[in-house]
């Protein structure tokens, strides 16, 4: 019975649950470790994202026979120039537009309430229970909007509280760019030659997955933002830059991001002119068609190979567990875990086939 597959699987899950129980019982030991990991997670993740974005630029400079330290210095110069341009030309306009948008929220609420009241008084199809639910929602609409804004400002407050950690990102980024290629030999040196090659292949697949996702997703989001900004400018939509930046951030979220991104633009467009709803929807549709048919296939391809239903499930689960940050990092985390599981499963199958060949 010990050699039966079902018995081995049962023992494996029992050991996993015992390990979880042991960790929960000895939480006082792991709590300082988790706090330390949380302290370095922000600069490490931030530097990791910048690493995958700036690594091609560093290799570009090295093609001109520029040594790596000086190539890294040029990368930092480019980042500083981009940050300066953004702070000089984009941030002030965004601040003004966002402030005006917040000031106009009460007017938008009044307009929405009048529209729904007019619609309710001129229809006889919707049941009274639905009308009551709509009335309750509209009566508390201001509080709902304030709750959303408080959440946004609370998130901004959290960002401000981790400024000290963000200061460490340039240092992490420097050493990642300088010594990133030494990680694989350092990890594989403790394994035998055969296992070291297996681990090297796994790390290479993880690196390819993260490269495809981070570089591809940000390039796609930038292209979508550029298309939306041009479209919003053509139809003269108010707060176009602020709405575009919001759409660019939301488009980082796979599958659900575009639907979240268009919602504020539709609300602002409806308040500006009801016909704007049609134009905003048309612009978003055109941008998404260009993205799905031309940009994503050429930038990202099918690197992640994750089903849309799986993406939705993972995003919803991560959002309920870790909030907005969980939504942002759910898909790449899942893709990496999938790569690891598939790799070791294929390794196991190959070893079984080799054993059979050896027996034959």
Domain presence at residue 234: yes
Q: What is the mean pLDDT of residues 108-117?
A: 64
More confident of the two residues 328 and 227: 227
Task: Check whether residue 210 and residue 272 sit in a common domain.
Answer: yes
Task: Check whether residue 198 and residue 241 sit in a common domain.
Answer: yes
Lowest mean pLDDT among 184-193, 227-236, 294-303: 294-303
Helices assigned H by DSSP within the chain: 5-25, 27-62, 68-85, 91-103, 105-121, 128-139, 141-161, 163-166, 169-179, 183-188, 193-234, 240-250, 257-272, 276-290, 296-299, 308-359
| Last residue within a domain, chosen from 164, 184, 204 | 184
Half-sphere exposure of 190 (CA within 13 A, CB side): 3
Which one, of 274, 253, 266, 229, lies nearest residue 327 by Cα? 253
Domain presence at residue 34: yes
Task: Check whether residue 204 and residue 270 sit in a common domain.
Answer: yes
Per-residue pLDDT at 81 exceeds 90: yes
| CA 293 and chain centroid, separation | 21
Give the pLDDT band of residue 73 (cuts 50, 70, 90): very high
Under 8 Å between Cβ of 240 and 94: no
Per-residue pLDDT reduced to its tens digit, 44-58: 888 888 898 899 999
Task: Check whether residue 240 and residue 113 sit in a common domain.
Answer: no
For residue 58, the model assigns a pLDDT of: 92
Lowest mean pLDDT among 229-233, 236-240, 243-247, 271-275: 271-275
More confident of the two residues 35 and 77: 77
For residue 80, the model assigns a pLDDT of: 92
For residue 110, the model assigns a pLDDT of: 66
Task: Check whether residue 166 and residue 315 sit in a common domain.
Answer: no
Cβ neighbourhood burial of 232 (10 Å; 0-12, 13-18, 19+): buried
CA–CA separation, 279 vs 30, rounded Å?
A: 54
CA–CA separation, 82 vs 276, rounded Å?
A: 33
Domain presence at residue 224: yes
Residue 311 contacts by C-beta under 8 Å, 6 or more apart in sequence?
Answer: 254, 255, 256, 331
Task: Check whether residue 96 and residue 178 sit in a common domain.
Answer: yes
CA–CA separation, 219 vs 242, rounded Å?
A: 19
- DSSP letter string over 159-171? HHHTHHHHTTHHH
Per-residue pLDDT at 203 exceeds 70: yes
- Cα angle: 167, vertex 217, 342; to 5 degrees: 100
| Last residue within a domain, chosen from 184, 214, 248 | 184
Lowest mean pLDDT among 16-30, 234-248, 289-303, 308-322: 289-303
Per-residue pLDDT at 303 exceeds 50: yes
CA–CA separation, 41 vs 270, rounded Å?
A: 41
Per-residue pLDDT reduced to its tens digit, 144-165: 565 655 555 555 555 555 665 6
CA–CA separation, 138 vs 120, rounded Å?
A: 12
| Last residue within a domain, chosen from 184, 213, 242 | 184
Per-residue pLDDT reduced to its tens digit, 120-146: 566 555 555 555 555 565 555 556 565
Q: What is the mean pLDDT of the chain?
A: 77
Task: Check whether residue 218 and residue 271 sit in a common domain.
Answer: yes
Task: Check whether residue 326 and residue 338 sit in a common domain.
Answer: yes
For residue 360, the model assigns a pLDDT of: 46
Domain presence at residue 359: no
More confident of the two residues 203 and 300: 203
CA–CA separation, 108 vs 93, rounded Å?
A: 21
CA–CA separation, 188 vs 331, rounded Å?
A: 27
Other Cβ atoms within 10 Å of 339 Cβ, number: 19
In terms of residue numbers, what domain contains 77? 1-102+144-184
Task: Tally the domains of the chain.
Answer: 3
Per-residue pLDDT reduced to its tens digit, 314-336: 877 877 777 767 777 888 888 88
Domain presence at residue 117: yes
- Which residues in 27-38 are b (16+ Cβ under 10 Å) and which e? eeeeeeeeeeee
Q: What percent of the chain has pLDDT over 70?
A: 72
For residue 168, the model assigns a pLDDT of: 79
CA–CA separation, 48 vs 168, rounded Å?
A: 12
- Cα angle: 102, vertex 107, 110; to 5 degrees: 130
Which one, of 139, 69, 142, 74, lies nearest residue 109 by Cα? 142
Task: Check whether residue 3 and residue 112 sit in a common domain.
Answer: no
Task: Check whether residue 274 and residue 155 sit in a common domain.
Answer: no
Instruction: Find which of 28-37, 139-148, 260-269, 314-323 is predicted with most confidence, using mean pLDDT.
Output: 260-269
Q: What percent of the chain has pLDDT over 90?
A: 6
Task: Check whether residue 347 and residue 228 sit in a common domain.
Answer: yes
Read off the pTM: 0.70
Domain presence at residue 358: no
Task: Check whether residue 270 and residue 251 sit in a common domain.
Answer: yes
Q: What is the mean pLDDT of residues 204-226?
A: 86
């Amino acid at each position: 019975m010990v050699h039966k597959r079902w018995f081995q699987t049962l023992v494996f899950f029992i050991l996993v649950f015992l390990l979880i129980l042991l960790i929960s019982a000895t939480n006082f030991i792991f709590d300082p470790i988790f706090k330390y990991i949380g302290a370095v997670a922000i600069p490490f993740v931030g530097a990791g994202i910048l690493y995958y974005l700036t690594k091609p630029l560093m290799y570009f400079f090295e093609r001109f026979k520029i040594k790596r330290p000086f190539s890294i210095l040029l990368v930092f110069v480019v980042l500083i120039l981009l940050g300066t341009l953004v702070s000089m030309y984009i941030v002030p306009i965004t601040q003004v537009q966002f402030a005006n948008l917040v000031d106009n929220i009460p007017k938008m609420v009044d307009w929405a309430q009048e529209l729904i009241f007019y619609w309710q008084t001129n229809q006889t199809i919707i049941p009274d229970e639905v009308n009551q639910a709509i009335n309750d929602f509209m009566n508390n609409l201001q509080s709902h909007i304030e709750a959303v804004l408080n959440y946004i400002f609370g998130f901004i407050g959290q960002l401000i509280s981790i400024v000290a950690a963000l200061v460490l990102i340039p240092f992490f980024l420097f050493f990642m760019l300088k010594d990133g290629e030494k990680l694989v030999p350092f990890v594989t040196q403790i394994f035998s030659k055969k296992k070291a090659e297996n681990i090297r292949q796994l790390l290479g697949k993880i690196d390819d997955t993260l490269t495809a996702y981070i570089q591809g997703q940000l390039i796609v989001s930038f292209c979508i933002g550029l298309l939306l900004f041009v479209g919003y400018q053509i139809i003269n939509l108010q707060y176009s830059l602020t709405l575009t930046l919001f759409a660019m951030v939301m488009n980082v979220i796979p599958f659900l991001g575009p639907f979240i991104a268009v919602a504020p633009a539709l609300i602002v467009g409806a308040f500006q002119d009801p016909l704007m709803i049609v134009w905003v929807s048309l612009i978003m549709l055109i941008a998404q068609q260009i993205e799905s048919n031309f940009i994503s296939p050429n930038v990202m391809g099918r690197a992640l190979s994750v089903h849309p239903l799986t993406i939705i499930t993972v995003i919803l689960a991560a959002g309920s567990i870790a909030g907005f940050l969980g939504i942002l990092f759910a898909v790449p985390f899942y893709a990496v875990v999938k790569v690891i599981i598939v790799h070791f499963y294929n390794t196991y199958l190959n070893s079984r086939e080799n054993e059979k060949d050896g027996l034959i």
